[in-house]
Amino acid sequence: MTPEQRTEFISTLNLADLHRHFDGSIRPETLWELSEKYYSAVPGLDFEQFRHYLSWDDSLDNSLLDYLDKFHVPLQYTQFYDNIRRISYELAEDAWNDGVRLLELRINPTIHRRAGLTTRQVIAATRKGLSTFQEEHPEFQVGIVVIAMRNHGGNMARLLLREVVGEKEEFHNGVGVIGFDIAGHEAPFPPILFENAYALAGQMGLKKTAHAGESEGPEKIWEALDSLGPHRIGHGTSAGQDPELMKRLAKDGTFLEVCLSSNLQTGAIEKLEDHPLPKFLDAGINVALCTDNPTVSSTSLSREYAIAMELFGMSEGDIRNLAAMSCKGTFLEAGCRCSVERTGAQH
């Protein structure tokens, strides 16, 4: 298939993105507008120069530190209720326009509290933006996954869970919190530190995922599985190095949230062609293809599907199966309601 034919085929599918970060998915145009309104976070730049501080540039960026640097500027403007509400609405709109019909948006409320918002206010603003879009597009399914940062420790993770209990999906007519996650530097903060937090999340009725095996080896995925009991693993890239681990993932039905472009940019893989996605699928592992950070990675979910199709020779049937599998991995209480194929899609 030509690139155009791949794009056309993918545009006929209902897609699900189960791993998309709030602060890595904000429209550069919105951040530029907010920069002009409040103050210039990086003075003396035009829009294209400003955009470099938000999005990966193959000609200039080449390390995990370069990738992580992209999150600093957006935080200048995500400390206010109305901005969070607006950004959440636009995130949903961007996903919809890319063919996404089921979105799980993950957010760490703590880093958006520097101007005085409470954790519940951050989540309420996120819910409001997402709910408004969902009311306008009833076919759109969306939920929130709350992230605790590893470097904040296990006690803070438990406090965060207690703060968001009232924002759970079941307590709201519409969008709410459906899951719990940990993210951040893996090596110094092993999964066992968060064992009690994950037990609490389970008692609260939240589904569980955990970033693991992105910057570290398969042993961190084993530890996450044994200590935390997650339903899904974020990235899990290094699982491809361990045949026994892949057997365990397949046997348990644990989903891997695979993000091709960001795995290349953060150094989890050296080349896209080296990504273990085909190996995961051949091993019978449940996979959800995701974006991670569309703005930072300069990507979209439809682009990630096109990459998988081109690099790994995946057929239309393979892609339909991957899209259906991704949808089935959702934490939403109602599960996945949409069929994979649609007609008359508008973008």
Altogether, the residues listed in the chain come to a count of 347
Distance CA 269, CA 262 (A): 9
Tokens 């960001």, located at residue: 262
- Give yes or no: 214 in active site: yes
**What values do phi and psi take at 101, rounded to 5?**
-115, -5
Cα angle vertex 153, ends 151, 154, to 5°? Answer: 150
Which residues touch 101 (CB under 8 Å, ≥6 apart)?
14, 15, 16, 139, 140, 141, 338
Maximal CA-CA distance, the chain: 55
Dist CA 99 CA 16 (whole Å): 9
**Cβ burial, residue 187 (10 Å; 0-12/13-18/19+):** exposed
For residue 124, give the amino acid letter: A
Q: Which residues pair with 183 in a beta bridge?
A: 149
CA proximity to 227, closest of 251, 250, 203, 210: 210
Structure tokens that stand for 206 in this block:
């939240």
Distance CA 233, CA 42 (A): 35
Tell me the C-alpha distance between 240 and 220, whole Å: 13
Supply φ then ψ for residue 103, to 5 degrees. -130, 130
- Angle at which helix 153-164 crosses helix 119-136, to 10 degrees, equals 50
Name which of 202, 252, 249, 261 is nearest 228 in CA terms.
202
Residue of 214, 223, 257, 304 marked catalytic: 214
Catalytic residues: 214
